[in-house]
Amino acid sequence: MSANVCCSNSVVQAQKLVDQLRLEASMERIKISLTAADLVQYCQDHRRSDPLLTGISASSNPFKDKKTCVLL
């Protein structure tokens, strides 16, 4: 009985894999060149507000230490 359960379990897993692959194969894909061009345009449009490019001012930085550490 254990062999039958094992075989039926692997058949179920294989069927799930086939269903997943069919689903992925039927998805409509976007060409990478179009997506890359959109990404470049978005980055260029928003570069003035990008903190990685412009930096964060010390007054508006929420991660700035409130107090300095002093050792006596």
What local confidence, expressed as pLDDT, does residue 44 receive? 93
What local confidence, expressed as pLDDT, does residue 6 receive? 64
Domain ranges of the chain: 2-49
What local confidence, expressed as pLDDT, does residue 2 receive? 59
What local confidence, expressed as pLDDT, does residue 26 receive? 94
Cα–Cα dist 54/49, whole Å: 7
50: CB partners within 8 A, 6+ apart: 43
Q: Walk along the chain (72 residues) in steps of 10 and give the mean pLDDT of each run.
A: 68 94 92 86 91 79 73 66
